[in-house]
Amino acid sequence: MRESLPPLRQLRAFFAVAKSQSVTRAAQAINLSQPAVTQLIANLETSLKASLFSRTPTGSYLTPLGEVFLARVERLLGHMEDALCEPTVGAPFASRETVRAMLIKISSHHVRALRSIADSSSFDEAARQIGVSQPSLQRAARELERIVERPLYHRTASGMNVTRPAFELARRLGIAMREVEYGVEEIEASRGHFTGRFTIGAIPLAGVNLLALALNDLLDAYPNTQIEIRDGRYEPMLAELRSGKVDILYGILRCPPEIEDVVEAPLFRDRYRIVVRRSHPLARRKAIKVDELAEYDWILPGAGNPRRRVVELLFSDAAQQPRIAIETSSIAAHKAILASSDRITLLTESEIKERSDSLIALPFEGLAARRPEGFAIRKGWKPTLIQRHFMDLMQRHAQAWMATAPDGSARGPSS
């Protein structure tokens, strides 16, 4: 995330002036003096290096850049309001008006404090994370607790930490703050400065070649784009997506049905094959039985991985279970070990194609279907121009790959 974003106080003043088209009426709406609102808007325009309003004798009207920014600020404030109205955050308030009155009092410092505590094991660690003193952090934390009129912290063995409802509030406020970053990027894009910055969560054993092709094309089109790729297991990456720390999750789709705030967009379905080195004893066979596969050591990812579950299902009724000699999620390690031993593993058609000189798929068809690969994104997420372009590139490369895959092994998401 960007190190410096406009404070909520400035954003609320901007929103009030944009909606009322008057500094005077905006000042009355947010309980500030007219000079204070004028100063907040001036500071915001200075930090964004953009003119957001056209001032006339009849009022203050949004410029084209102001219109761009307003769309994101509206989403920011809407996310924050929805966060306090969310049942998992706590008992409902009397009305939306009550919530809006609370939101006016919440500062960027309050949000930063809550999020840092939620991401840490103690107040001490949270204070170090955002570079403030512990007393300062505690003051902000307790102020927010008083503003929202509900307990946010409880004592644990390692010290004070957030309650479960407070953790949910922190998650949703993190999503809200991402809208400000997107708004800043869209202002820059509207001026022809494409400096997008986004984070991709990549699940191990996904089609990294497809990802690489799309990223190379994206950087050719927008060379100033900054991209962070976070590798990790599915569950932690899903949590990062849901908290706004990751913008797009790419890999084998398996979103649990109970996660209602994430939607999936399938791209293609690769095919699993049982793979050995070309000089393997089984490579000369025209037909392979399950029991014969159990006679050799296997290389597989850890327990719970979809690829591992396919193999477990294959041997579920077998008299003999295979020995899992090596556990790794590294496809490069799978291939290197396979090429120099008689071990067996499970690869996709595209992964075999990359090492067809040394690896071969066995003639065995009794494998469960592979789940499709694609995106997981937050429900209601509004991507920036650069993020939309990246997803379009992924779709184009997926379609091109399916068209050239051997023996029709690559299939559309619904095949």
What are the backbone angles phi and psi of residue 398, rounded to the nearest 5°?
Answer: -65, -45
What's the pLDDT at 1? 47
The residue count of the chain comes to: 415
Query: Of 251, 275, 269, 253, which is closest to residue 354 (Cα–Cα)?
Result: 275
Residue with tokens 């991507």: 383
Q: Which two tokens stand for residue 200?
A: 């991709």
Across 93-113, average pLDDT:
89
pLDDT digits (tens, 9 = 90+) for 180-213: 999 999 999 998 888 878 899 998 777 778 889 9
In this prediction, residue 45 carries a pLDDT of 97
Lookup result for tokens 């309650």: 163
The domains spanning 194-269+372-408 and 272-361 adopt the same CATH topology: yes
Locate 197 and state its tokens: 């910055």
- Residue ranges of E strands in 103-216: 153-156, 159-162, 197-202
Q: What's the chain's Rg over C-alpha atoms?
A: 26
Structural domain spans, the chain = 8-172, 194-269+372-408, 272-361
CATH topology assigned to domain 194-269+372-408: D-Maltodextrin-Binding Protein; domain 2 (3.40.190)
Instruction: Using the CB atoms, write b or e for 92-116: b if 16+ within 10 Å.
Output: ebeeeeebeebbbebbbbbbbbbbb
Place 351 in a pLDDT band, splitting at 50, 70 and 90: confident
The SS3 of residue 197 is strand
Architecture in CATH of 272-361: 3-Layer(aba) Sandwich (3.40)
Residues 21, 27: Cα–Cα separation, whole Å: 11
| Euclidean distance between CA atoms 189 and 187, whole angstroms | 5
Phi-psi region of 2 (alpha: psi -120 to 50; beta: other; left: phi over 0): beta
pLDDT at 413 over 70: no
pLDDT tens digit sequence for 227-273 = 999 988 888 999 999 999 999 999 888 877 788 899 999 998 888 99
| pLDDT above 50 for 71 | yes
- In the sheet where 197-202 sits, what is the strand order? 226-231, 197-202, 248-252, 373-378, 262-268
Q: Is the model more confident about 289 or about 369?
A: 289
pLDDT of residue 210: 85
Predicted pLDDT of residue 406: 54
Helices in 191-233 by DSSP H: which ranges? Answer: 208-221
Q: Is there a contact between 69 and 17 (Cβ–Cβ < 8 Å)?
A: no
Buried b (16+ CB within 10 A) or exposed e, 42-79: eebbeebebebbeeeeeebebeebbebbbebbebbbeb
pLDDT in tens, 9-36: 999 999 999 999 999 999 999 999 999 9
For residue 298, the cross-strand partners are 324, 344
Higher pLDDT, 155 or 248: 248
User: Would you say residue 158 has pLDDT above 90?
Assistant: no
Q: Does domain 8-172 have CATH number 1.10.10.10?
A: yes
- As a whole number, the mean pLDDT across the chain is 90
The token duo for 214 is 């799309």
DSSP state of 281: G
Determine the 3-state secondary structure of 109 from DSSP. helix
